[in-house]
A = this chain, B = another copy of it.
Amino acid sequence: MNINKKLSKILPSVTAEAHCDVPCGIYDPTPAKIAAKTVQRMVMQIKELKPGNHDHDISADLEYTNAIARRITTKEKHAQECKNELAILWSDYFKPEHLEKYPDLHSIFWNALKLCSKNKQNIDEDASKELVIAVDNIAKIFYETKGDNERFESYKNVTDKLF
């Protein structure tokens, strides 16, 4: 053990640098928006898919079931992804100094997360539109804290045209 001690005198110790308490510093609301738009798209497609008017046919029934089931699953998955992405922004990106400037920050995120759940539980075009708007509002705040409003416009340009 005294060998260890002696070695510790000459061996370099290491220090993690200060900025490393941020794992990467890469945050962006675009993935949350893509997820919200996918939820909206799924609701639209589920509503559009409809019974045909030819004779009853079990194969067509199964195709319809397959089509609806896959869209319900995709809606669920992306509503969850939206929830995850927003929760990361809330807990990891936003700091006490942001809260001072945006005192409603907590309830804005709380309501947005509850909207994600609402979109899981229902097939509701209005709720999916509200979710898209909620993500855009959060994105606006996010880019304001970055002092980069032009990037918000770019974000809108990329994510509003997804389908």
Chain A interface (Cβ < 8 Å from any Cβ of B): 1, 3-4, 7-17, 20-21, 23-26, 28, 30-31, 34, 37-38, 41-42, 45-74, 76, 83, 87, 90-92, 106-107, 110, 113-114, 116-118, 120-123, 148, 150-151, 153-155, 157-159, 161-163
Contacts and interface: CB of A to CB of B under 8 A. Distances in A.
B61 A66 contact: no
A17 B48 contact: yes
Q: Is the interface of A mostly helix, strand, loop or mixed?
A: helix
A62 to B, nearest CB: 5
B117 A106 contact: no
Given A13-B52, A17-B48, A91-B110, 7 more contacts: A14-B60, A24-B38, A26-B34, A66-B122, A69-B72, A148-B161, A154-B157
A159 to B, nearest CB: 8
Nearest to A46: B62
A3 B61 CA distance: 17
Contacts of A4: 12, 51, 53
Given A4-B51, A70-B23, A56 B12 contact: yes
B62 A68 contact: yes
Most chain B CB within 10 A, of A30, A73, A159, is at A30
